[in-house]
Amino acid sequence: MDKSTAKLIGVVKTYGKGHLAVKALDGIDLNVMEATMTAIVGPSGSGKSTLLHVIGAMDKATKGEVEVVGVDLNALDQKGLAKVRREHIGFVFQTFNLIPILSALENVMLPMEFIRKGRRQKKERGQHLLRKVHLDHRLRHKPTELSGGEQQRVAIARALANDPAIVLADEPTGNLDTKTGRIICDLLREIAAEKTVIVVTHDEHIADNADRVIYISDGQLHA
């Protein structure tokens, strides 16, 4: 039976107060199933990234219920949200956001440091993940020595470091050429065989390859 990984009911996210208040999310109901790839599309400023941040325990909803891997995020304080991010969520950013002083392997090992994994375990898993994204020949390279596509693959490997239930990707192909974008898309598709992948994107190719496409505008979902 299909199992829900992320469930949102009547979620509202408002920025600012009084007459300056802006509703980024306006009554979102969403149920994302385990081991699927969901693409969230919509125009700029429609609330795509905000939705991703709320699901990813980076931001709290103003109103409504958010349940991720069975945890009620609204009930958690900042420490609790950090724990959810550390153990259950993997992030992939548009600008890769790798740490420049660390090598590819060290970047992948970084999230494992926060769950106090042993050095050997970290190294072995890091090497395994970089092999999985076909970068086992680039372990010692710094981000500046890698191409955009390679950096994004390192970022994907890093997102998988703590074996999260959900991988969230915010415009993962936004800074890449079409060919490299396809490679990243294929990689995400591959990950979705085991994990829940939610991708915010403008890339039609990703949307075409997703199990489900959600359209969002003015903070509201459209089927």
List contacts with another protein (CB under 8 A).
Answer: 53, 56, 58-59, 78-79, 82-83, 85-87, 89, 91, 93, 95, 97, 99-102, 106, 109-111, 113-115, 119, 158, 162
**Nearest distance in Å: CB 165, another protein:** 13
- Select 198 or 213, whichever has its Cβ closest to another protein: 198
Q: What is the DSSP string of the chain?
A: ---EEEEEEEEEEEES-GGG-EEEEEEEEEEEETT-EEEEE--TTSSHHHHHHHHTTSS--SEEEEEETTEEGGG--HHHHHHHHHHHEEEE-TT----TTS-HHHHHHHHHHTTT--HHHHHHHHHHHHHHTT-TT-TT--GGGS-HHHHHHHHHHHHTTT--SEEEEESTTTTS-HHHHHHHHHHHHHHTTTSEEEEE---HHHHHHSSEEEEEETTEEE-
Handedness of CA 110, 114, 115, 116 (dihedral sign): positive
**Nearest distance in Å: CB 91, another protein:** 5
- Select 100 or 178, whichever has its Cβ closest to another protein: 100
- Select 91 or 176, whichever has its Cβ closest to another protein: 91
- Select 106 or 150, whichever has its Cβ closest to another protein: 106
**Nearest distance in Å: CB 90, another protein:** 9
**Nearest distance in Å: CB 168, another protein:** 9
**Nearest distance in Å: CB 209, another protein:** 25
- Select 35 or 82, whichever has its Cβ closest to another protein: 82
